[in-house]
Amino acid sequence: MTRTTVAIEGQLTPYSDALKDAGYRVVSLTDASLRTANAVVVQGTDENFLGMQDPLTKSPVINATGFTANQIVTEVKHRTVAES
């Protein structure tokens, strides 16, 4: 069984830990991980991600601002199931 991969910004350690505890494969947010991750978690806006017209990823980009780690785990679960 392939685990869902989540790319996450480095400063979001509590979210990273919660996602790992929930069984997700967590990787650092890089250009390469944007292309392969099933979801992306950032601190900031998910609209017009990185200010580019052509998105670098077709995966859902989730803004962690204002959410608890558990809420982000739930959001990743819902968004990755919906994308499947």
Task: Indicate which CATH number applies to the domain containing 11.
Answer: 3.40.50
The predicted model gives 45-60 an average pLDDT of: 61
Give pLDDT, residue 55. Answer: 59
Structural domain including 17 reads 5-83
> Which whole-number Å values give the CA distances from 10 to 13, 16, 17, 41, 53, in the listed order?
7, 9, 11, 10, 24
Number of domains in the chain: 1
At 1-47, the pLDDT tens digits run: 458 999 999 889 999 999 999 999 999 999 899 889 999 999 876 45
pTM reported for the whole predicted model: 0.82
Residue 44: the pLDDT is 77
Residues 54-65 have a mean pLDDT of 81
Please give the Cα distance from 45 to 13 (Å, whole number): 18
Distances 13 to 3, 24, 41, 74 between C-alpha atoms, Å: 19, 14, 11, 17
Distances in whole angstroms, Cα of residue 70 to Cα of each of 8, 18, 49, 52, 65: 15, 7, 23, 29, 13
